[in-house]
Amino acid sequence: MKKARIIYNPTSGKELIKRFLPDILDELESLGYETSAFATTADKNSAYEEAKRVGLLEFDLIVAAGGDGTISEIVNGIAFLEKRPKLAIIPAGTTNDYARALKIPRTNPLKAIRVLQKNQTVKMDIGKANEKYFINIAAGGGLTELTFEVPSKVKKTLGYLAYLAKGAEMLPRIKPVNLRITYNEGVYEGETSMFFVGLTNSAGGFETIAPGAKLDDGNFSLLIVKRANIFEILSILAKALNGGKHVNDPKVIYTKTSNIKLETINHKERLMINLDGEYGGDAPVQFQNLHQHLEFFVDLNLINDGVLLDYQEKKKEYEEVVNKYVHELEAVIQEGLDDDDMVGPHNY
């Protein structure tokens, strides 16, 4: 049998995963996986260490059950391996940006795990920032620092409202940082209010931050907000929420690139880097897109055909496999009917 390991955060999502765990185990067993489970602990590297251990043992599948932070830890535990397990997601966090991008059901753990029944996968790009990995977004400057300042208990209780409240509180004291950002098509030098390096189109519960982002094309969506005052930042945020129109703002640079080098021009100036909502070190940092590096289970029928490089080809490929299976099954059934006249048409 194939081997699967569920790595779950027992405190995520009002402890929803624990209640559904027996049913999730049954579902995976029915799909041919010899399955075991591991509950993460308060140790900061709990999910990372378990994913690394399971990856080195060459398990076939890791089910990441928790929020974006749990998924990111698990990815960091296996991304450096030459042979990496496939991944499935059971979302149970506050915003579940990554599950949102992959259209994984976010309200019912059983529906999320049943995505595996279709046996459809996508090879996803991930990012590497110096020696760390991220799956969704890297950011720095201004409002991005609020992630570090919202207490975890408040995040859990109020969810995204906590970020909005903290963001409003921080706006008056946002100061730009003098940066040099080198990317495929050029170099930007100047005072910067914030920057985003995105792998999906979903950030903070919204799907318009990186319009046109693809999940598997080998490119980041790089968004740079030049020096801006409070009112200009509010205007840019409003445009972002209004169909992604912020990319046309004169204060914004928006481009696609596979590599980025970011450094402060004044080396005494500190810039903290946010990787998937957690502190990921300070600048300088080299971002590298690892093209189609990890394979995730998805439901292709739910994914918008604009976010995958070869969506139509993948869908056609799976449809051909299904049709071939159906024809072969019909032939076997017909052969059985021909061999045994006693078998009626409704008995197979």
Dihedral Cα 194, 146, 288, 121, nearest 10 deg: -120
The secondary structure element, H or E, covering residue 166 is: helix 160-170
The CB density around residue 83, as the number of other CB atoms within 10 Å, is 8
Catalytic residue of the set 27, 278, 320, 328: 278
- Name the amino acid, one letter, at 273: I
Task: Decide: 70 and 10 in contact? Cβ < 8 Å.
Answer: no
Please name the residues in contact with 74: beta carbons below 8 A apart, sequence gap of 6 or more. 7, 47, 48, 51, 62, 64, 87
d(CA 86, CA 260): 27
Q: How many CA atoms lie within 13 A of 136 on its CB side?
A: 28
- 278 is annotated as an active-site residue: yes
The shares of helix, strand and coil residues in the chain, as percent rounded to the nearest 5, are 40, 30, 30
Task: Decide: 203 and 134 in contact? Cβ < 8 Å.
Answer: no
The secondary structure element, H or E, covering residue 197 is: strand 186-198
**Residue numbers annotated as active site:** 278
